[in-house]
Amino acid sequence: MKNKKVYIVLIAIILIFFLIMFIVFGLDEIRKESYDTTIIVGNDTVWTYKNKGWSNLSTYNDLNWKKYDVYLNNSKSGNYYLWYSDKWYVFNNKKEAVKTEGDLLAIKTNHDISVYEFEASEIEDYTYVNEVLEDNELSTDNKYTIKKKIVLDYDNDGIEEEFYLISNTFSLDYNPDKVFSIVFMVKNDEIYPIYTDISENTGFNGCRPYISSFIDVDSDSKYEFVLSCAKYSVSGVTRMLYEYKNNEFKILISNNK
């Protein structure tokens, strides 16, 4: 009888364990199967999330005259209609044109998505920057065309992380042997690489990086972010949506496929 009771208790514990695992992970996966999201970045990139997968849209006709949460220069502008011709045009509820200036981010989704409004500052302490340059066999005696830092609690764990963006691309007053663009995060004094592009200087090669948006695309209280890299002249902008998973950064989708 005693063995039978022990057996019943063990079965109950196992069932409770699997029930908890289903509540924690299973329901979340079921919810994600229903997510339907469109993210517009600038005038050249539209990403969609559906059936638990990301894809690029090449034609925008089906997106016209639908309402989106619109952000300009990383600040909420409003909920507007969008229409695409040579670029995205914005309209209010009366379908009157709304003047827009700055980097465009527009989101249409059937679940909660939060966007973190942030400001980038100039780097003052180059300790981590110099360590990364040395690790990549680059001189620490550099002039920069980009030297930005963004501070935020990226993963909502109560500790602020620091995102660094450095580049010497498209310089006009000096001619380095190598051009580079590097993006990395610092958390608890540890450096996490995000984006590294280093090449011999052939003129106006390379691209200049900037983070345009931090977005919690899957409602897990952890931010993904859009890293854009602008090439010289009309060569276009590479846009990448990054996530942090298993202690490293990975690209969820890019407009370069």
* HEC-encoded secondary structure of 106-141: EEEECCCCEEECCCCEECCCCHHHHHHHHHCCCCCC
In order along its 257 residues, the chain shows pLDDT tens digits of 556 666 666 666 766 665 565 455 544 555 667 789 999 999 999 999 998 899 999 889 999 999 999 999 889 999 999 999 989 999 999 999 998 888 899 999 998 899 999 999 999 999 999 999 999 999 998 889 999 999 999 988 999 999 999 999 888 777 888 999 999 999 999 999 999 999 888 777 788 999 999 999 988 889 999 999 988 766 678 999 999 988 899 999 999 86
- Please tell me whether residue 151 adopts helix, strand or coil conformation: strand
Retrieve residue 155's tokens: 């993963």
Q: What is the predicted pLDDT for the residue at 171?
A: 81
pLDDT score at 202: 79
pTM metric for this prediction: 0.84
- CB neighbours (10 Å) of residue 233? 8
| Structure tokens that stand for 51 in this block | 């059936």
